[in-house]
């Protein structure tokens, strides 16, 4: 039985840090285990321009505790008014590593997102030309589409036509949750990647809804039927370079999660690596963990792999932190609802 593994220092290819007091509270929990992260731009107001991304990056670095190292990889929030020249300049300077497409209304703070894809064709063509990846929140928002079907419908109706219409565009299917998305990503070429979260590898909708409704498991895209989870685990542990970690760690103050209309998002950052080691161990695929968390992401983004290393050890079930205190109030930490035997040492 393997009781210790050492992997290359990982990165998180989809992270919400927020801003201000919340950011100060959650940032150390990512910086402790991850060297870099793709920082989501869905602040209020969103990070739309290169100048806004530069200012946000400065605020993140200023909030980093003394002695910790962490590199925020900035993104721009795509709107119908995004200027292709600004995107080009922000990418050329090295500041911005991706642009994020939120269909308007799909998730937390997505009101400024895209309603009509035709309005952003110019930006997408510029991105294809310069090789800047598009991170896609892949859900349709038409009210008649069932929330559990929104991802699968998006692939057929939006993503596939978009990729065909924009040859060369590098696309990351963010936080995939379905067998359909895993299959689509697996068949893609080098210009396609897909991130998977910790919660979608560990839970399905029964965990959220049977025996009472658990708001801390409510995230978007929503947890799916139990048949999908094994397909996601299969993809993550396959060794395919298309798949890499994006935790989508999305902190909300506890009172906003435990509310009549609860905010979407799971705060997984403090326990992400331990949980992933557990998942990969259960799948008898610990040898694939390094690829998923440390190798495939940098390869897709054209960045060097980290040089450091992280060791995880296996023993008795570990006590996971229940919550983290922040200046914006306590934030409940993701509880996978089962024993986790691994910890970062
Ligand atoms: C994210 C958030 O809270 O910003 N929430 C979530 O459920 N994942 C937004 C997102 O990535 O969809
Ligand atoms: Zn997200």
What confidence tier does 128 reach under pLDDT thresholds 50, 70, 90? very high
Q: Which ligand 1 atom is nearest residue 264's CA?
A: 7
Q: Which ligand 1 atom is nearest residue 16's CA?
A: 4
| Least confident interval from 103-117, 125-139, 173-187, 239-253 | 103-117
> Quick one: tokens of 113?
């997102």
Report the domain count for the chain.
1
CA-based radius of gyration for the chain? 19
Closest CA to 151 of 212, 234, 221, 77: 221
Q: Mean per-residue pLDDT for 43-54? A: 97
Q: Is the distance from CB of 162 to CB of 150 less than 8 angstroms? A: no
Q: Does 107 sit in the ligand 1 pocket, CB within 6 Å?
A: yes
Q: Does 248 sit in the ligand 1 pocket, CB within 6 Å?
A: yes
pLDDT at 107: 86
The angle subtended at Cα 71 by Cα 329 and Cα 340, nearest 5°, is: 60
The CATH number covering residue 136 comes to 3.20.20.140
Rounded Cα–Cα distance for residues 71 and 68 (Å): 10
Q: Is the distance from CB of 70 to CB of 30 less than 8 angstroms? A: yes
Kindly list the catalytic residues: 248
Rounded Cα–Cα distance for residues 255 and 217 (Å): 14
Q: Does 137 sit in the ligand 1 pocket, CB within 6 Å?
A: yes
Rounded Cα–Cα distance for residues 154 and 116 (Å): 14
Q: What is the pLDDT of residues 238-259, one digit of tens each?
A: 999 999 999 999 999 999 999 9
Its domain, for residue 97, covers: 4-344
For residue 311, the cross-strand partners are 6
Residue having the nearest C-alpha atom to atom 4 of ligand 1: 108
Q: Which of 265, 269, 332 to mutate to test the pocket of ligand 1 (most atoms within 8 A of CB)?
A: 265
pLDDT at 298: 98
pLDDT at 109: 87
| Residue 161 alpha carbon to ligand 2 centre in Å | 23
Q: Which ligand 1 atom is nearest residue 251's CA?
A: 3
| Residue 251 alpha carbon to ligand 1 centre in Å | 9
Q: Does 264 sit in the ligand 1 pocket, CB within 6 Å?
A: yes
Distance of CA 203 to the CA centre of its chain: 16
Q: Is the distance from CB of 68 to CB of 108 less than 8 angstroms? A: no
What confidence tier does 72 reach under pLDDT thresholds 50, 70, 90? very high
Q: Does 43 sit in the ligand 1 pocket, CB within 6 Å?
A: no
What confidence tier does 108 reach under pLDDT thresholds 50, 70, 90? confident
Rounded Cα–Cα distance for residues 269 and 252 (Å): 13
* Kind and range of the H or E run holding 97: strand 96-101
Give the Cβ contact number of residue 310 at 10 Å. 21
Rounded Cα–Cα distance for residues 122 and 105 (Å): 22
pLDDT at 73: 99
Which three-class secondary structure state does DSSP give residue 331? strand
Q: Which ligand 1 atom is nearest residue 219's CA?
A: 7
Rounded Cα–Cα distance for residues 121 and 132 (Å): 14
Q: Is the distance from CB of 69 to CB of 60 less than 8 angstroms? A: no
User: pTM score, two decimals?
Assistant: 0.98
Residue having the nearest C-alpha atom to atom 5 of ligand 1: 265
User: What does residue 8 show for φ and ψ, rounded to 5 degrees?
Assistant: -60, 145
The DSSP call for residue 35 is S
């Amino acid at each position: 039985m393997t009781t210790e593994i050492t992997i290359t220092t990982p990165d998180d290819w989809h992270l919400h840090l927020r801003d201000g007091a919340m950011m100060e509270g959650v940032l150390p929990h990512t910086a402790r285990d991850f060297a870099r992260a793709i920082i989501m731009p869905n602040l209020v107001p969103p990070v739309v321009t290169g100048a806004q991304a530069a200012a946000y990056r400065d605020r993140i670095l200023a909030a980093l505790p003394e002695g910790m190292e962490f590199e925020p990889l900035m993104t721009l929030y795509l709107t119908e008014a995004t200027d292709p020249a600004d995107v080009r300049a922000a990418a050329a300077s090295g500041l911005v590593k991706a642009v994020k497409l939120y269909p308007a209304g799909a998730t937390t703070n997505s009101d400024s997102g895209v309603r009509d894809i035709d309005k952003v064709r110019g930006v997408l063509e510029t991105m294809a030309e310069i090789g800047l990846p598009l991170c896609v929140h892949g859900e349709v928002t038409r009210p008649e589409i069932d929330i559990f079907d929104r991802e699968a419908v998006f692939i057929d109706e939006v993503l596939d036509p978009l990729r065909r219409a924009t040859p060369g565009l590098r696309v990351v299917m963010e936080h995939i949750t379905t067998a359909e998305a895993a299959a689509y990503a697996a068949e893609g070429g080098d210009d396609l990647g897909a991130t998977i979260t910790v919660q979608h590898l560990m839970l399905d909708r029964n965990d959220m809804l049977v025996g009472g409704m658990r708001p801390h498991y409510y995230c978007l895209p929503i947890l799916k039927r139990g048949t999908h989870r094994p397909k996601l685990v299969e993809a993550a542990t396959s060794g395919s370079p298309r798949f890499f970690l994006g935790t989508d760690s999305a902190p909300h103050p506890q009172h906003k999660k435990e509310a009549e209309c609860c905010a979407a998002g799971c705060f997984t950052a403090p326990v992400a690596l331990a949980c992933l080691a557990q998942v990969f161990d259960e799948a008898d695929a610990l040898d694939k963990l390094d690829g998923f968390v440390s190798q495939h992401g940098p390869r897709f983004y054209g960045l060097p792999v980290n040089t450091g290393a992280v060791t995880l050890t296996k023993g008795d079930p570990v006590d996971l932190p229940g919550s983290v205190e922040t200046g914006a109030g306590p934030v409940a930490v993701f509880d996978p609802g089962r024993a986790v035997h691994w910890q970062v040492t």
